[in-house]
Amino acid sequence: MKNVKAAIASIIFAAAMAPLASMAHQDNAVAGPALGRAAPAQAASRTIVISAATKFINVENGDVVTIDVDGKSFTWQFDTLRDSDRFALAAIAPAGINTHGVWVYVAPNPLYVN
């Protein structure tokens, strides 16, 4: 009975840790709701155009931005869990959009700084 319980505990632990293990090999890119969410285009306060020469973009936590890459666009509300964050644009871009290796730098929103 102890062996069965130990085996079940090992399987549960491995299943819980698998997503974390896969994230460790993504060069600091983290996908998921911790980075924000898609937003309607009319909610955007600005548009950022990405070209092959673009290396990074700067946004503030809470910004709603339309990102235009090679004529394809999507709108994102940046809502990260930390005060400042950095991640690959590819982590939030819809499938089929070539992000050219661009990084997103999210600064704290000055409205929420003490």
Model-wide pTM > 0.75: no
> What would the mean pLDDT of 35-52 be, rounded to a whole number?
95
pLDDT at 60: 93
**What residues form DSSP beta bridges with 66?**
47, 75
Encoded tokens for 24: 């460790």
79-95 pLDDT, tens digit per residue, is 887 767 899 999 999 99
pLDDT at 29: 41
Q: What angle do CA 29, 31, 33 make, to 5 degrees?
A: 140
**What residues form DSSP beta bridges with 46?**
65
Which fold does the domain 30-112 belong to in CATH?
Answer: Immunoglobulin-like (2.60.40)
